Amino acid sequence: MATSETKSTLYPKITTHIKEVSLRALHHTPYDSSPNPIFQVIKTLRYKLRNPDSPEQEPTLEPIPIVGTVKLHGTHADILVTSDNIIILQSRNNAVLLKTADNLGFANAMSWKQPTILRLRDQFLTRWKELNPNKTLSTELPITIAGEWIGEKIRKGVAISRLSRRLVIISAKINGAWVTDNDYADIEAPEDDIYNISRAGTYHSILYPEEPHKTINELEALADTIAAHCPFAESFGISGEGEGLVWKLVPYISDSDLWFKTKGGHFKPTFTPAPKKPPVDQAEKCELAKALAKSWCSEQRLEQGWDYLREKGIEQNMKGIGAFLKWVQVDILTEEKGYVAEHGVDEELLRKEIIGRAKPWYLEKYAAVR
């Protein structure tokens, strides 16, 4: 294993290296973001556990322990480190970040911390070997240190925005699999403003697949508590609002398809109830599309679209409006594809209504910031 004393290189031959290790597949840290993610998680788990000989028969699921960590309102930031000490920085929408093509200063800050990053990589790998003495560690796969880049002028309206900018480690992928966060909870580098999410505490609950509302009620109450008072900010002596929690099913920690988040306070998504009956004529289809666009074009989602332009280096002016509207449409139709298909939503009408709500928002936003 390469150590932090070995010569390191930042970004050499990036394009070739990305192809070699398939970074897009490796770095993705997904969370279900639908208004009721628990239902989708249960549906996904049933599908994964179905009997291939009787696929039409849904398995009965026993209560499942889940573990949660505080969700931070920042911008996603990943560090990939290879066995030959190549460090690659990524954001949610960019496979490679550079000081000249950055995401809110993350790449610039990390470019000065190469020895620290390599030391953290070594600590993760040493711990992994201690916990997995009978497994072989592949040198072909990089370790992913998934994080959230937080602090002043990154996001507003939360307590952590009053902190100086810093990276918070939220997960790690080693040997091609996401690991149990608690096993690595003490790995951080406070002297270099790299912290572990564990300092905000770990939360435990139960997922009741046969009684989902029992779980929903408990987790939403907890998310509201976090939203009212952020424990991560509190660990630095700052009081104020948080966002929510990220949950993982204990028996399936490495299966990121089963990760989900619950948000509280003003971050709580709007629930869209199913229509009482499928729309039959054009008037009903238009009415449904309009109601859904109103619900799904939330302020938070539109702000995400605005931020997507910044992250991709697209001008946030009239030149960028097309990319913005496309992003909003794709994001909604991807996230809500199950709802759209199940309830007979006219996709073209929905697209028109989405544009009808997103376009004036963009124009108002642009006018306010220019």
Contact present, 166 and 151 (Cβ < 8 Å): yes
CA distance 64 to 41: 12
Whole-angstrom CA distances from 282 to 279, 286, 314, 336 are: 8, 6, 37, 21
CATH number of 1-269, picked from 3.20.20.70, 3.30.470.30, 3.90.850.10, 2.120.10.30: 3.30.470.30
Q: Which two tokens stand for residue 187?
A: 């790995």
Domain assignments of the chain as residue spans, ordered by start: 1-269, 282-369
User: DSSP letter string over 82-136?
Assistant: -TT-EEEEEESS-S--BTTB-STTHHHHHHT-HHHHHHHHHHHHHHHHHH-TTSP
Nearest C-alpha neighbor of 33 from the set 266, 269, 212 = 269
Nearest C-alpha neighbor of 248 from the set 322, 346, 181 = 181
- 150 residue type, one letter: I
Number of Cβ within 10 Å of residue 307's Cβ equals 18
283 Cα distance to chain centroid: 37
Beta strands in 134-243 (DSSP E): 143-150, 166-174, 177-178, 194-196, 203-207
Could you tell me the pTM of the whole model? 0.83
Residues 6 or more apart whose Cβ sits within 8 Å of residue 11? 86, 87, 88, 96, 98
CA distance 191 to 260: 31
How many Cα atoms occupy the beta-carbon half-sphere of 308 within 13 Å? 19
The confidence score (pLDDT) of residue 77 equals: 97
Contact present, 116 and 189 (Cβ < 8 Å): yes
Count, residues in the chain: 370
Rg (CA), the chain: 22
- Its sign, for the CA torsion 336, 338, 339, 341, is positive
CA distance 87 to 80: 6
Q: Which two tokens stand for residue 115?
A: 């020895």
Q: Which two tokens stand for residue 222?
A: 């907890």
- 50 residue type, one letter: R
Q: Please report, in tens digits, the pLDDT of each residue of the chain (370 residues total).
A: 333 333 444 444 443 344 444 444 344 444 444 446 898 899 999 999 998 888 788 888 999 999 999 999 999 999 999 999 999 999 999 999 999 999 999 999 999 999 999 999 999 999 999 999 999 999 999 999 999 999 999 998 899 999 999 999 999 999 999 999 999 999 999 999 999 999 999 999 999 999 999 999 999 999 999 999 999 999 999 999 999 999 999 999 999 999 999 999 988 877 677 777 888 899 999 999 999 999 999 998 999 999 999 999 999 999 999 999 999 999 999 988 888 988 999 999 999 999 999 999 999 999 998 8
